[in-house]
Structure 1
Amino acid sequence: MTEPVTPITEADIAQFLVHTPDFFERNADLLAGVQLTSPHGGRTVSLQERQAEMLREKIKVLELRLMEMMRHGNENMLIGDKLQRWSRQLFLVARPVDLPAVLVSEIKSQFSVPQAALKLWDVAEVYANEPFAQGASEDIRSLASSLTVPYCGVNAGFDAVKWLDDPDNVASLSLIPLRNGATSPAFGMLVLASPDSQRYQAGMATDFLERIAELASASLSRVRDY
C-alpha cells in the first residue's frame, strides 16, 4: 500500500531556502523573474524594485529617528543651560532668608512655569516666622515624605495648591519633595503648576525634576535647623 504523500508547505520551502543560500546563485534567472505586489498602489514590481522600496522605507524610518534624537538633544541642552542659570542665581543669594523667594521666582522665570510655591519646615528658629515656613500641614508633610519621586499629574485637590497665587487656575502640577538624602524625611515641598493639563503628566520622566529637587534641597540647607 502506497503511503500518502505529505504536501510541501510554505514553511518547508522557507526552511529549504534558508539552508540552501546558493540556490538562487544556481538559478539566477528564476530570481530575476520573481514578481511582487508593491504596497504603493498595488502594482506589480520586480523583487529588486521591492527590495529597493523596503530599503527606502527603512532609511526614512532611520532619518525620522535621527531627527527625533537631535530634537531631544537640543531640548536637553537648552534645559541644561536653564538649570545652570537657575543654579547660578541661587549661589548669588547673600542672605539665607532670601533663598526661598529667589528660588521660586527664578524657577518661574527660567523654566516658564506659570505658578510655583515653596514651603519648608524644620527650619532654624530665626526663620520660623517667615512666610516660607508657614502653612505646611501635617498631611502635606506626610505626603512629601511619602513621595520617592516628584508627583506629576492632574490637580486632584492637593492642599499644597492653596500655596499658589491662583489655585483655581491649575490643571496639572508637580509636587517635588525636598530632602537631604534619598531615605531622609522631607523638610519641604516645591509646587510647580500650570493651566495646561498636559504640562505635567502622569508617567512622564522626572529625572530633570529630581535634579531640581537635589539642587534646591542643597541650597536651602542654609535655613535648616540641624
Structure 2
Amino acid sequence: MTHSAPMSPITEDDIAHFLANTPEFFERHAEVLASVQIASAHGQRAVSLQERQAEMLREKIKALEQRVMEMVRNSHDNEAIAAKVHAWGCELQRVQQPAALPQAVVRGIEQHFDVPQTAIRVWDVAHEHTEHDFAQDASEDVRAFASSLTMPFCGPNLGFEPTSWLPRVAVEEGDSLAAQSLALLPLREGPIDSATPAFGLLVLGSPDAQRFDATMGTEFLSRMAELASAALQRLR
C-alpha cells in the first residue's frame, strides 16, 4: 500500500499569486469583494475591500500632489538663485578696473547670496597686481589642492589652510564665530571640471554647520566659479 506525500500548506504568497493570475475569479465570485472587511488605515473600523482600495488611491494621489508641490517650490527656488547669479555676473562685467574684481566677486556673493564669510586668492597675476591682498598667502599646497578640485567642495571645516583667509563673524556678545562649513570653488580657465591648473580659489564659509553640506547640489556653485574665473582672467 502506497502513501501519498503530505501536501504543503497553502501560503499567502500562493493565494496572492493565484489571485493576480486569475482575475476572472472575482468575476465569478463578485460577492467576495463586497464581503471582505479589512482594517482602515484611518482608525480601527473595518471597511470593504473597495473602500480600502479607494483610501489607498487617495493616499497615492496626495503623495503625488506633495511631490508636485515640492517640484514647484524647487523650481521657484532655482529661478530665484539663477536670477541672483545673473545679476552678480552682470555686476562683474561692469567692473572697469581689474584690481577691483576680487573685491567685487566677494562683495557680490555676500550681498546676493547671504554668505557671511567670503575670501579669495588669485595667483600668477600680472606684475602690477602682485602687491594686492588677493595675491598673497596662497601656498604651494593650497595651489595644488585647488588644481585637484574638478567641482566645488562642500562640507565641514576640517582645518583647511584657506579658512585662515576668512573673516570671523561678529555676534552680539562681542565674540566672533569661525566658519563651521565651507564651499571651496577652484578658479581656472575654461570649465570647472577641466584639467587646466587653477589660478585661484574662492572660499565661502558660514558659522552654520549645515549651510554647506556635503550632500548639497553644486550646479550653481560651479557656474559661479566659472563666472568668477572668466572675470578674473583680466588680472593675469
Relative to the length of structure 2, the TM-score reads 0.90
The aligned residue for residue 172 of structure 2 is none
What CA distance in whole angstroms lies between the structure 1 residues aligned with 2:165 and 2:12?
68
The aligned residue for residue 3 of structure 1 is 4
SS in 2 for 1:185: coil
What CA distance in whole angstroms lies between the structure 2 residues aligned with 1:123 and 1:218?
14
Quote the offset at 1:2 in angstroms.
4.2
1:175 counterpart letter in structure 2: L
Aligned: 1:218 with 2:220: no
Residue 221 (structure 2) aligned to one of 186, 209, 221: 209
What CA distance in whole angstroms lies between the structure 1 residues aligned with 2:16 and 2:6?
19
Task: Tell me how many residue pairs correspond in the alignment.
Answer: 224
Quote the offset at 1:14 in angstroms.
2.1
The aligned residue for residue 211 of structure 2 is 199
The aligned residue for residue 83 of structure 1 is 85
Aligned: 1:67 with 2:69: yes
Quote the offset at 1:10 in angstroms.
2.5
What CA distance in whole angstroms lies between the structure 2 residues aligned with 1:171 and 1:36?
52
Equivalent positions of 1:54-203 (< 5 A) are: 54-166=56-168, 168-181=177-190, 182-203=194-215
What CA distance in whole angstroms lies between the structure 2 residues aligned with 1:165 and 1:216?
20
1:221 counterpart letter in structure 2: Q
Gaps of 5+ in 2: 170-176
SS in 1 for 2:216: coil
Relative to the length of structure 1, the TM-score reads 0.94
Aligned 8 A contact 2:182 2:212 in 1: yes
What CA distance in whole angstroms lies between the structure 1 residues aligned with 2:72 and 2:15?
44
1:173 counterpart letter in structure 2: L
Taking only the aligned residue pairs, the percentage that are identical comes to: 54
Quote the offset at 1:63 in angstroms.
1.4
The aligned residue for residue 173 of structure 2 is none
Aligned 8 A contact 2:180 2:209 in 1: yes
What CA distance in whole angstroms lies between the structure 2 residues aligned with 1:78 and 1:19?
51
The aligned residue for residue 174 of structure 2 is none
| Higher alpha-carbon deviation: 40-49 or 12-21 | 12-21
SS in 2 for 1:8: coil
